[in-house]
Amino acid sequence: MVKNTIDYLCKHPVDGFSAGLVDEKNIFEWNVTIIGPPDTLYEGGFFNAIMSFPQNYPNSPPTVRFTSDMWHPNVYSDGRVCISILHPPGDDPSGYELASERWTPVHTVESIMLSIISMLSGPNDESPANVEAAKEWREKRDEFKKKVSRCVRKSQEML
């Protein structure tokens, strides 16, 4: 399943991101580059991440972790992305998410990447992975913008 997906993406690229294997011998680890969406604070950035697929994919979701610096309410300080569709299927133990918002095997790499691009366009500060970034997003927007600008500049320098 994972091999078919990488083959498909190579033949049918999607705007906003690119993907490839970290190592040709391991189809479960991908390098992805997410292009900062136009008309957002992240515009102009090229943010690298690792997408790791579990052995039982597509029954369980992959994980996505930015390796580029990222300042965002829905990204943990270690770079892990926190969006509903990457949470295990079923009921949310904390009761915040509906089961229908969580992972289902119908999600694709494309739908995950588009969700991350959407996350960059509009942070969810009600359920933050990075509480400090969420607080800054709400209360000190200028400081938040400065930190994101630094991340964008740094991502451009890494090209």
pLDDT digits (tens, 9 = 90+) for 121-157: 999 998 899 999 999 999 999 999 999 999 999 999 9
pLDDT of 54 higher than 90: yes
Q: How far apart are CA 26 and CA 154, in angstroms?
A: 29
How many whole angstroms separate alpha carbon 28 and alpha carbon 86?
16
Q: How confident is the model at residue 7 (pLDDT cuts 50, 70, 90)?
A: low
Digit-coded pLDDT (tens) for 56-83: 999 999 999 999 999 999 999 999 999 9
Q: Which residue out of 51, 64, 70, 82 is catalytically annotated?
A: 82
Catalytic: 10?
Answer: no
In CATH, what number is assigned to the domain containing residue 132?
3.10.110.10
Q: How many domains in the chain?
A: 1
Alpha helical stretches, state H, the chain: 2-11, 109-121, 131-139, 141-157
How far apart are the C-alpha atoms of 58 and 68, rounded to whole Å?
26
User: pLDDT value at position 6?
Assistant: 59
Cβ atoms 152, 43 nearer than 8 A: yes
Q: How far apart are CA 37 and CA 26, in angstroms?
A: 29
Q: What is the pLDDT of residue 159?
A: 76
Domain of 49 in residue numbering reads as: 2-157
Give the Cβ contact number of residue 99 at 10 Å.
12
Interval 96-121: pLDDT, tens: 888 999 999 999 888 999 999 999 99
